[in-house]
Amino acid sequence: MNICIPKERRESDFRVALTPAGVKLLVQAGHTCYIEHEAGVGSGFTDYDYQQAGGKIAYRGEEVFGRADLLIKVSRPTVEEFEWLREGSMIAGFLHLASASPLKIKTLIEREITAIGWEIIQEDNGKLPVLQPISQVAGRMIPQIAATLAQNNSGGKGILLGGVPGVPPAEVVILGAGTVGTAAARTFIGMGANVYVLDQDLDRLQNLDRLLSGRVITMVSHDFNLEKVCRFADVLVGAVLVPGKRTPILITRQMIESMRPRSIVMDISIDQGGCVETSRPTTHYNPTFVEADVIHYCVPNMTGVLGRTATHALNNATWPFIKMLAELGLEQALEISAALRRGIYTRNGELAHPVLQNAMSSRS
């Protein structure tokens, strides 16, 4: 099997889909791996590292896409990259097709592509094994970004998240008690902030309360509670996820307008459409905008600037599925892995994911 790893072309994405160690294992198993020139530089891997592992270096993106039986990415392909997809090939990555342009989905169908979304691979117990480690990276990254945004030189209120004796700490509100929300809550607490976590799942809130020994204030995410916390939050984090679906809007413009001036909104759900009505995607080079006198941070590929850590975390999680696809082929891999079956958006050009089927039906 030709297994190909392109360079990530989205702005400020320094991750790479496979490390030299992964390439070495695939080559030893008899597969051919093509890696685009300098694909691993942002994660600390040179072309020489990949060549030493047995990989072949390709110098054009079109070549990498054109040779692939299985194309392994991190982020969803760009418009240009969708045009490079080889007919009948497989692509795996964080595709987030629920929020993608219908034209991109149409390309997958027309070219009979099998599209595997790392973010929707799901085990029987509901766990998302590939998304989880990246979500942990994102959750632990959120407080350090929030701390910087709260400074005057970033346009913030000029507050220290943890306060000091005689000066109260910041009020931090997190929507969602999943992996991102839990990791963020733990880190915010470690910095000394007052932390509130809202979720509609009471079991999740009870588990979070036990995990953090009661140091976090938990609330059910009813509308009236959302309205209440918006009025006092210094930092509001949207960490809502509905696997495979577009994120529902939980925070309305009116709620944003009720926030205090120069408060901070971090919509981490933006890669699935966002959970805040006033959100729109931003970039690492221009990460914030101000709406209703509230600072908005909405970078979809937030962990892209932690190339080394995020790449290793991702590879630890994706390797079992990459190995399965390479050793068994698509059909047998899907037969034995229910988790992988749940990760299929399109199969040989046919819509395979119920959410995607419904979305395309509603758009037609």
Q: Which residues are catalytic?
A: 96, 271
Closest to 181 measured CA to CA, from 300, 83, 268, 302: 268
E strand spans, 178-239: 194-199, 217-220, 235-238
Closest to 173 measured CA to CA, from 138, 224, 137, 216: 216
Instruction: Give the three-class secondary structure for 44.
Output: coil
Q: What is the H or E stretch that residue 316 is in? A: helix 307-336
DSSP state of 43: G
Tokens of 22: 């992964």
The CB density around residue 293, as the number of other CB atoms within 10 Å, is 12
E strand spans, the chain: 2-5, 32-36, 56-58, 70-75, 90-94, 114-117, 171-175, 194-199, 217-220, 235-238, 264-267, 288-291, 294-297, 344-347, 350-351
Sorted by sequence, the CB contacts under 8 Å of residue 103 that are 6+ apart come out as none
Spatial distance between the Cα atoms of 248 and 224, rounded to a whole number of angstroms: 17
Instruction: Give the three-class secondary structure for 40.
Output: coil
Across-strand partners of 34? 4, 56
Sorted by sequence, the CB contacts under 8 Å of residue 74 that are 6+ apart come out as 8, 13, 15, 16, 17, 93, 94, 304, 311, 314
DSSP state of 99: G
Closest to 276 measured CA to CA, from 256, 293, 241, 251: 251
